[in-house]
Amino acid sequence: MSTETAAPTVNSAKATAQDAIKANLREYGLVLALIAIMIFFQFTTSGVLFKPVNLTNLILQNSYIIVMALGMLLVIVAGHIDLSVGSVAGFIGAVAAVLMVDFGFNPFLAGLICICVGAVIGGVQGYFIAYMKIPSFIVTLAGMLVFKGLALWLLGGRSVGPFQPEFQMLSAGFIPDPIGPWTIGGVKLHATTIVIALLIVAGMLFAALKSRRNRESHGYDAEPFGFFVLKNAVMAGIVLFLLYMLASYRGLPNVLVVMGVLIAAFVFVTKRMTFGRRIYAMGGNVKAAALSGIHTERLTFYIFAIMGALAALAGLIFAARLNMATPKAGAGMELDVIAAVFIGGASALGGVGQVAGAVIGAFIMGVMNNGMSIMGINIDWQQVIKGLVLLGAVAFDLYNKKKA
Amino acid sequence: MSDDIILEMRDITKTFPGVKALENVNLKVRRGDIHAICGENGAGKSTLMKVLSGVYPFGSYSGDIRYEGQQCHFNGIHDSEKRGIVIIHQELALVPMLSIAENMFLGNEQATNGIINWDKVRRRAAELLKKVGLREDPDTLITNIGTGKQQLVEIAKALAKDVRLLILDEPTASLSEKDSQSLLDLLVEFKAQGMTSIMISHKLNEIKRIADQITIIRDGQSIETMDKADITEDRIVTSMVGRSLENRYPHREPNIGETIFEVKNWSVHHPLHPERQIIKSVNLSVRKGEVVGIAGLMGAGRTEFAMSVFGRSYGTNITGDVLLHGKKADTSTVGKAVKAGLAYATEDRKVYGLNLIDHIKHNVTVANLPSVSSKLGVIDDNAELRAANEYRKKTNIRSSSVYQITGNLSGGNQQKVVLSKWLFANPDVLILDEPTRGIDVGAKYEIYTIINKLADEGKGILVISSEMPELLGICDRIYVLNEGRIVAEMKASEASQEKIMRAIVRGEEKAA
């Protein structure tokens, strides 16, 4: 007991730069890993990776994985797993195709119906998991088979397409540029994208400053000012650089806007809202959470319903990107999504994981896919390398935690 | 005084990164003795036993271990077990879905070339079970027998390994009074047969009863070793905490008001075997500013009663009424019970009380998040931090900040976090289930002080405890529960341990 008496808040108020670096390495280790991987492929692809067109592609290619990773993060933090998301995404793509191509539905109406259907699918699975207490692994394994089969049946083995142009815009479109293109230093830039980039950076810096003030005012250790400035400058630099690259191609893809809004919403929900906090409490100790008055069953049900809606959205994005629904769509996607969340630092035991981590985890997988494809590495070896990276990332994470 | 020393540990020092867990600890155990080791939580008792049993291998500590006259270099539990040193941990290491016999020979299977000889297993198991006085079929699954019997299986398992030095880490922590007694009797019997035991315990009356010698450890140092003749409770307590505790229970001037909590005709059935009635039409009440105790043996239904009242968290076919402030209250879910002004702090804080991987702040606020959130469910960080800091101070949680992970706190401090969580929910009535289980004397005193303060603030408090002196020390009134029935109610000023035991025994006669 006496070992814990030491050091109340007073002397920890001035954290050293070394402490700050250590703490941040754990927090930003993933970002650094992503940057390192990108730089590595920048060299091995002789500069193709960072070309504006390739960066844009990278985002389009991974958008549906990231959308599902957001929901999967909640599922995994809650101590569950969802193996059905790939099949559900494929099934929803088929539903969308049948509605729009075969029955001529308006794309917006069809999209809305699809997302509702996804939420219902997730809700039904959630019902079995939450109220019937069947392990999520089994329920969603069943769901995976069921919806794979239903997608085949719905499409009757054919590929259905193409979609209306409005629907294709979901994956192929870019935001308009009402401010008009600017030409700076001989490069034609998408002006609206640049303005948005500046707004985002300003918002980031404002939030960082505010949270630092807040910590200081409560006597909690703020990191040294120099380090704080450096860290935020680097983060701002990265955001500005990436958006500049996008602006020099065709601007922000529509799907990136959708993703950005979703990511921001999920960060907010998990960090600031009671709903999110309760998911962590439930994942950390479900019995204690229930005895604290948290409706653990209802919460689990909602989480799976959200996952279903996101799988549906991902299915729409994927269908719009291919411009058709195929019976094979979505196959194996769940594995990429789950891998992204675990690479992002979530614990398979529940209770631990961050939205930002899952997103970065998805990009790490995405950059590796992209980079290795450009390098011309065979798909067989790509799989091997991706598997090893997943194992290595989680092993490294556990090793770090043990040391700490 | 015999000088036949079976074990001597000399100048044991063990450091973990940043902490000196043990510093020059000395321990001498005579052959055939029951040697007690006593100390506050975190004093280093368990670390010392881990050094002895080889969990911390030779070389990771400094100092000498001489056992049976030989220098020991254990590199793992296997080495120490080969020499007949067996440790039984506080948290039993049994596999619930395997049988008694299978558990007894786990890692020590009666096999030739990897093929298990089941006849031999059953025969030897039956022999050993007889030795420890457990009348159960060796094929019974562990999950189907109670904790007391499981403890006996652990001891039988140790006997199967030809134990010569038996180490028990708080063996009676989760046993009822009756099971504890028979366990202690068993140890005395083993002693008569020449076995040496080391027993770590918090319970001073047990130590006084069976120990031949006692070594006190405080803050990683061995303070003193005394013989049976010199053992007094005061001296043990003084050495343990390094100060004399005038009174183990803080004084309180009761200021009791009107009845605020009543349970009427409360009946509960077993969740899996609905034909078994666990709670049989219980009536009880708590008044404002009153501390009321529920005494009873393990298995009497005390926890089951509390959990069934608190959001029907236990049992089926629950009937009866809960009244708060004289009005019927809906406590059918935990959420509703909390809203009605009820709180229940569980007996098992690690399993039911805390999210051990999260920090203090999140654990304190989890039962009442809406009070630090907007209507839409957005948490106000500042308000939450203020609340967590306030309760950390109020309950005197020793931690570097509210951002310390609760899994790294000592038992006493974890208990304070559980209390903080429920205080923050601002209930009128608190049910505290074994609030001081497994925590040391100093922390117990602090918990009692908090309970007194809450009573003074006008809350009603219902304390469930297996330690009768504790109930007698802190309660105003005591109910005795036996086999799901209230068999007696008495004022604490008129109660005594004998009176409570008599009520229980009489209740059992009636039931039989």
> What integer pLDDT is reported at residue A5 of this predicted model?
38
CA–CA dist B14, B10 (Å, integer): 12
B221 close contact with A: CB closer than 8 A? no
Is the confidence at residue A403, as pLDDT, over 70? no
Integer-rounded Cα radius of gyration of chain A: 22
B352: nearest CB among A12, A278, A288: A288
Q: How many CB atoms within 10 Å of residue B475?
A: 27
Residue A21 vs residues A39, A224, A231, B459: alpha-carbon distances, Å: 22, 10, 10, 47
Structure confidence at residue B374 as a pLDDT band (50, 70, 90): very high
Nearest to A271 by CA among A64, A77, A80, A68: A77
Is the confidence at residue A100, as pLDDT, over 50? yes
Q: How many CB atoms within 10 Å of residue A217?
A: 11
- Token pair of A234 as six digits: 């680097």
> What integer pLDDT is reported at residue A394 of this predicted model?
85
Percentage above 90 pLDDT, chain A: 70
- Pairing outcome for strands B221-227 and B213-218: antiparallel
Contact B38, B206 (CB under 8 A): no
> What 8-state DSSP symbol labels residue B492?
G
> What integer pLDDT is reported at residue A15 of this predicted model?
53
Is the model more confident about B278 or about B172? B278
Q: How many CB atoms within 10 Å of residue B465?
A: 25
Domain A29-35+48-173+256-403 has CATH 3.30.230: no
Q: Helix A355-375 and helix A52-77: axis angle, to 10°?
A: 140
State whether B379 and A274 contact (CB < 8 Å). yes
Nearest to B51 by CA among B19, B75, B17, B78: B75
β-bridge mates for residue B194, sequence order:
none
State whether B403 and A6 contact (CB < 8 Å). no
> What integer pLDDT is reported at residue B281 of this predicted model?
93
Q: Which residues of A touch B (CB under 8 A)?
A: 1-9, 12, 214, 218, 220, 272-275, 277-278, 280-281, 284-285, 287-295, 351-352
Residues whose CB falls within 8 Å of the CB of residue A119, separated by 6 or more in sequence, listed in order:
A305, A306, A308, A309, A312
Is the confidence at residue B183, as pLDDT, over 60? yes
**In chain A, where are the structural domains located?**
29-35+48-173+256-403, 176-252
> What integer pLDDT is reported at residue A6 of this predicted model?
37
- Token pair of B328 as six digits: 């019927």
Whether the CA torsion B210, B215, B220, B223 is positive or negative: it is: positive
State whether A272 and B378 contact (CB < 8 Å). yes
B65 close contact with A: CB closer than 8 A? no
B351: nearest CB among A8, A281, A287: A287
- Token pair of B460 as six digits: 């009603």
Is the confidence at residue A125, as pLDDT, over 90? yes
Q: Helix A274-284 and helix A296-322: axis angle, to 10°?
A: 110
Is the confidence at residue A13, as pLDDT, over 60? no
Q: Which residues of B touch A294 (CB under 8 A)?
A: 334-335, 366
Residue A79 vs residues A50, A136, A266, A269, A292: alpha-carbon distances, Å: 37, 9, 18, 18, 18
For B248-276, what is the mean pLDDT? 89
> What integer pLDDT is reported at residue A11 of this predicted model?
39
User: Residue written as tokens 């209306």?
Assistant: A164
Is the confidence at residue A17, as pLDDT, over 50? yes
- Token pair of B344 as six digits: 């229940």
> What integer pLDDT is reported at residue B299 of this predicted model?
73
> What 8-state DSSP symbol labels residue A18?
H
pLDDT digits (tens, 9 = 90+) for A336-384: 999 999 999 898 899 999 999 999 999 999 999 999 999 999 989 999 9
Distance of CA A237 to the CA centre of its chain: 21
pLDDT digits (tens, 9 = 90+) for B349-369: 888 999 999 999 999 999 999
Is the model more confident about B65 or about B40? B65
Structure confidence at residue B391 as a pLDDT band (50, 70, 90): very high
Is the confidence at residue B4, as pLDDT, over 90? no
Is the confidence at residue B488, as pLDDT, over 70? yes
State whether A3 and B352 contact (CB < 8 Å). no
Contact A385, A392 (CB under 8 A): no
> What integer pLDDT is reported at residue B483 of this predicted model?
84
Distance of CA A305 to the CA centre of its chain: 17
User: Residue written as tokens 């993933």?
Assistant: A30
CA–CA dist B100, A249 (Å, integer): 71
> What integer pLDDT is reported at residue B3 of this predicted model?
65
CA–CA dist B512, B184 (Å, integer): 26
> What integer pLDDT is reported at residue B510 of this predicted model?
54
pLDDT digits (tens, 9 = 90+) for A80-97: 999 999 999 999 999 999
Interface ipTM: 0.83
B371 close contact with A: CB closer than 8 A? no
> Cα torsion for B205, B206, B209, B214, to the nearest 10°?
-100
> What integer pLDDT is reported at residue A398 of this predicted model?
80
Mean pLDDT of chain A: 89
> What integer pLDDT is reported at residue B242 of this predicted model?
67
> What integer pLDDT is reported at residue A256 of this predicted model?
94
User: Residue written as tokens 């039984």?
Assistant: B88
Structural domains in chain B, sorted by start: 5-241 (3.40.50.300), 247-341+428-441+459-512 (3.40.50.300), 350-426 (no CATH)
